Amino acid sequence: ACTSLKSILRTRKTAATATGKLSATGKRNLAVAEAKWKKKGLNMWSEYIAVDIAASPSRPNSMNNCLPCLTSCRAAWGPPFITKLGRQLSTSELLRAQGFDPEIVGCNSHLSKRQLGAAIGNAITLPVLRQILAKIFEAMS
């Protein structure tokens, strides 16, 4: 099951959509996502759509009110872009997505933003760990 994207977001919206700062791949992936959601009858800029702007151009991905799997590379180099907010996820939002309290973990650590992103992407959430352990115990009995 997917955690609602809205539940982890701070609603801070950028003054203007931050697409101008994106790489060519990021801009292309946004355009592909916009065409996909338009075909489904949605204006992606009015929805909480997570676009994987760092994905390979051959594998663009976007999800409505849900996040893709956060790998160490994805979290470190190109967190998902949230269309309604016009920006990428912040470090504290990535922490919340993985089930961590940003106040406890501390976003002001000695790690760089990329190092912290990689650590967040390497984390495993408790719901996933519970499911894995349940399957292991089931197989053992």
The model's confidence at residue 9, banded by pLDDT at 50, 70 and 90, is confident
Tokens of 107: 């976003």
Average pLDDT of every residue of the chain? 84
Residue bearing the bigger pLDDT, 51 or 11: 51
Residue 79 has a pLDDT of: 87
Looking at residues 13-25, what average pLDDT do you find?
Answer: 69
Separation between Cα atoms, residue 92 and residue 133, nearest integer Å: 27
CB neighbourhood size of 126 (10 A): 11
- Phi and psi, residue 52, nearest 5°: -80, 90
From residue 100, give the alpha-carbon distance in Å to each of 46, 66, 104, 113, 125. Answer: 28, 17, 8, 16, 8
- The whole-angstrom separation of Cα 54 and Cα 78 is 5
Q: Give per-residue pLDDT as tens, 31-61.
A: 999 999 999 999 999 999 999 998 887 888 8
**Higher pLDDT pick, 105 / 27:** 27
